[in-house]
Amino acid sequence: MTTPLQERRVANAIRVLAMDAVQKANSGHPGAPMGMADIADVVWREFLSHNPTNPQWANRDRFVLSNGHGSMLHYALLHLTGYDLSIEDLKQFRQLHSKTPGHPELGYAPGVETTTGPLGQGIANAVGFALAEKTLAAQFNKADLKVVDHFTYCFLGDGCLMEGISHEVCSLAGTLGLGKLIAYYDDNGISIDGEVEGWFSDDTEKRFEAYGWQVIRADGHDAAAIRQATLAAQAETQKPTMIICKTVIGLGSPNKQGKEDCHGAPLGHDEIALTREVLGWAGAPFEIPADIYAAWDAKEKGTHAENAWDQVFAQYQAQYPAEAAELLRRLNGDLPADFTEKANAFIAETNAKAETIATRKASQNTLQAFGPMLSEILGGSADLAGSNLTLWKGCESVEQNPAGNYVHYGVREFGMTAMANGVALHGGFIPYVATFLMFMEYARNAVRMSALMKQRVIHVYTHDSIGLGEDGPTHQPIEQIASLRGTPNLNTWRPADTVETVIAWKSALERKDGPTALIFSRQNLPFQTRDAAQIENAAKGAYVLAEAKGELKAIIIATGSEIGLAMDAYAQLEGVRVVSMPCAEVFMQQDSAYRESVLPSHIRARVAVEAAHADYWWKFVGLDGKVIGMTTYGESAPAKDLYQHFGITVEAVVDAVKQLTA
């Protein structure tokens, strides 16, 4: 006689694959996949619209495993439904160069929509996906033809809800009315430290109702209850839905289910043998019966769904050819064909104006010029738009018009940034998000995820140094620029004036393989005169702004607001070259001949000057050089007094050069 658990043979395939893979790797988290298998069975076999033969189908539903430590749940689902993820790939779980790393990683296994692992960021990405879907649909759908029409499903656990980012993004998701976002909370009451009731006693239902979500409770092991809850979630178009699923972690393991023992460690060979008996599962490890594969296979259903959408899109192309072409361009991530030409013309126009303004204002001017060219821009700020100047005349809030192009994120730096990652991952948009540079610290881990996932997200940071003045050390960034520059695959630009600002924005928009941080000043910065060759070289990250008078003996390297200071020092010196280095990462990507032409290796007398942490610059000046920068936190005072107090002055640069060339 079979038991109810044994009757769930289709779902049990997830359980056995999870415990087998974790055991073979001797590392991983079997409990969550085993506990959520019944939820996954219903969602993936009955509701999720996807095509394993074309994982990038534009109108697929998006699935996010926010509790990414349960990655074998995701890998098992991808394998069973027919993605190009073999049983051998599952056997290589957590091994070097495998397609099945310890947490879901974008670009490894087909069908993984985002990298998850840092708890809470997956649900934040999911909110970004849902925002992108709603906005793109509003921009392109017609009353008779819906070419953007899909759901975002997200699994999450206790850890995701304990992380503060979940409050930031779920609060905003309710405010924005993201009705096509459906989240399933694995309410198993267990974390690595044990039963969570001792440190997580929130009333999750009331919490999400207060956010403006629809909340449904369901038995996470009752297929009918999960099915009914999902249907109700799909029917609610004005609110996101949280389905609170009561589950047993590690369900099926007779001695470890419901305990922290199965959360983050293999079950052990003996316990796996007992679990197989409980599940009524015969056969060798990683062995799945043919009828189970047949029950899971989604290729035919997925191909049919995509073909049906293709027919709709063909009608759309016939009736709305311009809109169809624009949508395809945006989904491909291509800029308009004439963007580079127009951007270069604006650079020339900016150069001719020769304005002395703050680079935050120059950034706004650039947005005003580029915004009308780029329908894919989706901007936003963490409640500081009037200070970081991210609003331009063509901005329209998505809160008031779903087809808009600007998001008021409120004071949610971390959530904003992680949502932007989801927007970029969805496709069809280039998101930019903004705050003061100091408050990048709140968003730091999401910035790292932008870089790790190689997403075209533009991080705008203003009030870039002690130059912001009277707000004092809590608001004056010191180590933040070095932190950004130390992030692999992130390009960090700190432009010196209007021209470098436009060049920085152009670089960020044209870059497809990663994010960019744009760092702008609060205070006005003097315009620097350049010729056409210098403008071209500025896009290479560093260039000779002022050549030495006479024989070259020393080099001054500076960025941003300190370029003006370096140029004032240059006026008092002979034999000195000024190098502007707005983006060290782009400069280091140039060939060795260009780098040598800017920073000749035989010139050892080098001075770097920047009103930020000094340590970053030693790699460019060498042990024989000098760095004029910050080694402490700031103070509260007017900017001019602070520069004097901390010794970041023209006199200090002149003295440093003279000492090195004496």
8 Å CB contact between 358 and 468 = no
List beta partners, residue 525: 357
**Nearest Cα to Cα of residue 570 among 586, 592, 547:** 547
- Tell me if 268 is assigned to a ligand binding site: no
Number of helices and strands (H, E) in the chain?
A: 27, 20
- Tell me if 207 is assigned to a ligand binding site: no
Which of 163, 271, 413, 585 is the catalytic position?
A: 413
- Tell me if 494 is assigned to a ligand binding site: no
Identify the DSSP state of 189: -
Identify the DSSP state of 119: T
CA dihedral 177, 179, 180, 182 (to 10 degrees): 100
- Tell me if 595 is assigned to a ligand binding site: no
Separation of alpha carbons 102 and 446, rounded Å? 19
Q: Which residue's entry shows tokens 């705050």?
A: 435
- Tell me if 227 is assigned to a ligand binding site: no
Separation of alpha carbons 83 and 80, rounded Å? 8
Separation of alpha carbons 264 and 26, rounded Å? 10
**Which uninterrupted H or E stretch holds 246?**
strand 241-246
Q: What share of the chain is helix, strand, coil (3-state, %, to 5)?
A: 45, 15, 40
Separation of alpha carbons 369 and 196, rounded Å? 52
Does the CA dihedral 519-522-528-530 come out positive or negative? positive
Two tokens at 627? 């760095």
**Nearest Cα to Cα of residue 558 among 458, 628, 644:** 628
- Tell me if 475 is assigned to a ligand binding site: yes
Two tokens at 485? 């520059």
- Tell me if 387 is assigned to a ligand binding site: yes
- Tell me if 463 is assigned to a ligand binding site: yes
Does 413 participate in catalysis according to the annotation? yes
8 Å CB contact between 470 and 418 = no
**Nearest Cα to Cα of residue 149 among 324, 317, 313:** 313
**Nearest Cα to Cα of residue 430 among 321, 355, 510:** 510
Separation of alpha carbons 170 and 226, rounded Å? 21
Classify residue 206 by burial, with Cβ atoms within 10 Å: 0-12, 13-18, 19+.
exposed
- Tell me if 464 is assigned to a ligand binding site: no
E strands of 452-584, at which residues? Answer: 458-462, 491-493, 516-519, 524-525, 543-546, 554-558, 576-580
- Tell me if 439 is assigned to a ligand binding site: yes
8 Å CB contact between 478 and 440 = no
Identify the DSSP state of 595: H
**Nearest Cα to Cα of residue 27 among 264, 286, 276, 256:** 264
Beta-sheet strand order (sheet of 554-558): 543-546, 576-580, 554-558, 606-613, 626-630
Classify residue 100 by burial, with Cβ atoms within 10 Å: 0-12, 13-18, 19+.
buried
Return phi, psi of residue 346, to 5°: -70, -35
- Tell me if 29 is assigned to a ligand binding site: yes
- Tell me if 188 is assigned to a ligand binding site: yes
- Tell me if 107 is assigned to a ligand binding site: no
Annotated binding site for Mg(2+): 158, 188, 190
Catalytic annotation, residues: 413
Annotated binding site: 29, 69, 117-119, 158-159, 188, 190, 263, 360, 387, 439, 463, 471, 475, 522
